[in-house]
Amino acid sequence: MELLGEDKVLWRPQDLLLYEYDGAVDTSLPDAVVLPSETADVAKLARFCSQHQVPLVPRGAGTGLSGGAIPVFGGIVVSFARMSRILEIDVADMRAVVQPGLINLHLSTAAAPYGLYFVPDPSSQKACTLGGNVAENSGGPHTLAYGVTTNHVTGLEVVLSDGSVVRLGGKALEHEGYDLVGLFVGSEGTLGIVTEITVKLTPLPEDRRTILAAFPTMDQASETVSAIIAAGIVPAAIELMDALATEAVEAAVHAGYPLDADGILLVEVDGVRDGLDEQRERIEEICRAQGATTLRVATSTLDRERLWAGRKGAFAAMGRLAPDYYVQDGVIPRTRLPAILRHVREVGERYGVRIANVFHAGDGNLHPLILFDGSAGPAVLEEVKQAGFEIVAACVEAGGSLTGEHGIGMEKNCYMPLQFTAEDLATMRRIKAAWDPLGLMNPGKVFPTPGRCKEYDLRAAAPRGSARASRTGAPTPGARAEKKDRNA
C-alpha cells in the first residue's frame, strides 16, 4: 500500500474472493489485487515484484474461459478496471488508441459516429475488455471474413517484468524486423503486461443480409457450411447451434429460432449494398439443396439484432438447462464438422452428460458446452473435464488445434503435448525467458507444469475405459495446482 496508495490495493479476504475465479471452472486466491490508474503504476509494481520474486497476473473483466486470470501460484492480480479510457480515435488513419480495461463494445459505439467500428466481436463483447482480447487473441462471429484480434492490432505499450516500459509497433500497418506485436497478441500475459493498445478501425458496412436456416439434422447443417464456402462465398459470419442450445436460447431470449430443428445456421453477408441480395439468394439456394426446412431473412435492424441476441446470449442461457457448464473451444477443418460433432455426442452419452453446441462454424471453432451440477461434488467436475479432454484430443487428431480464441491458460496447458513436440515447447520457453527471465508474468499458464500435469505422453491417451488409457496412467487433467512456496 505504501508503494501505490491504499486506494489502489485490495488485501482483505472478502475482497480477494472476487478475484479467485474467471469464466472458467478453476479457482485460486491472490495475495493482493492492485488497481492501477496509469502505466507508471504498473511499472512501479513490476519493479517491486521483480525485487521480491512475486508473480504478476493481469486481469481484464474476468470473462476468460481458460483460467488465464487465475493466480495459480498466488501473487498479485493487476486489475485494469480503472484503465478503461479511449485515448484517441484517429479517423483519418482509421486507428484507435485505448487502455486495456476498455470494454470491447464501447470502442465500436464510440467509433460509430465516424462510420467506423472494431471488428473482433466475442460473444462477451458487452463485458470483455480489449486487454483480454489481446491476451487471448479473441475472435467472434464476425471474424470469419475479417480476421481475429491479431489482424486488428498494430501497436502495444508493454510493461516488462523488470518494470521497463517498451513500445511495439504503432499506427503503421507494417514494421521492419520481427513481428513483436504479433508475438504479444495471444501470449496470455506471460511475456509482459499490456498497458496501451493501438487498433485498426474498419468502415461500417453499407448494408447486411442476415439469414437463419434450420435443418433436420446437425450433419446437414454442418455440411452446408462447407458448401457455402465451396461456392466461393465467404460470409462475414456463419454460426451453428444444435437443438439443445436452441432450447435454452429461445427460453431466455425469444429470438424466434425454430424448436423443431436439430441444427440452426445463422449466416450474415455484408459490404456494398449492390450484390448482397444475389449472395443471399445463392446462400438460400445452397441451404435448400442441403435440406433446410426453414429459411428466414431479417427484414429490419431490430429483427437482425434479435437473431444475434440469441446467438450472443447462448452461454448465459445455459443456466436454464443446468447449474454449471464447462466449455471447450477446439478448432477443426470445416470438412470434419459432421464427424467431430457426432464424436461430441458420443462423448456426452458415454459420460452421461448433456452437451450443447453453439459455435463459429465458418472457421471450425467448436464451443461444446458440457452441462453439469457442480454441487454434486468435485468428482463430477473431474469427469466433466475428462470428457472435455477427449473432445479436444479428437479435434487435434482431426488436424485442428487446442483452442481458437479462449486461450490455453491453466485449463489446457497440460494438453500442449497433444499439438506440440518437446522441441516446440522448448522454443516457446526460450521466447518467454527472453522477455520474462524470472518467470513472474502469469506463471502456470500455457506451458505444462510439473506436479499438476505430471509426466505423461498425451498422444498415447485414449477414452475412458480403454486398455490403452489405463496403461498410460494419464492424470486427471483438472487436478488443482499446488501453491508455490516462494521462499524455497
Residue 451 pLDDT: 74
In three-state secondary structure terms, 466 is coil
Residue 476 pLDDT: 40
Residue 485 pLDDT: 36
Q: What is the CATH number of domain 207-319?
A: 3.30.70.2190
Same fold, 207-319 and 322-472: yes
Q: How far apart are CA 338 and CA 366, in angstroms?
A: 12
Q: How far apart are CA 65 and CA 318, in angstroms?
A: 15
What is residue 272's DSSP assignment? S
Nearest Cα residue to 70 out of 100, 33, 44: 33
Residue 488 pLDDT: 33
Q: How far apart are CA 36 and CA 34, in angstroms?
A: 6
Q: Please, what are the averages of pLDDT over each run of 10 residues along the chain (488 residues)? A: 87 96 94 98 97 98 96 97 98 98 98 98 96 97 94 98 97 88 98 98 97 98 96 96 96 93 97 96 98 96 94 94 96 96 97 97 96 94 95 96 96 94 96 97 94 59 39 35 35
Q: Are 384 and 477 in contact (CB under 8 A)?
A: no
Q: Check: CATH 3.30.70.2740 for 322-472?
A: yes
Handedness of CA 89, 181, 134, 194 (dihedral sign): negative
- Architecture per CATH, domain 86-203, reads as 2-Layer Sandwich (3.30)
Residue 452 pLDDT: 77
Beta strand extents in 21-126 (DSSP E only)? 32-34, 56-59, 76-79, 86-90, 95-98, 116-117
Question: Would you list the domain boundaries of the chain?
Answer: 6-79, 86-203, 207-319, 322-472
Strand partners, 5: none
Q: Check: CATH 3.40.80.10 for 6-79?
A: no
Q: How far apart are CA 443 and CA 72, in angstroms?
A: 7
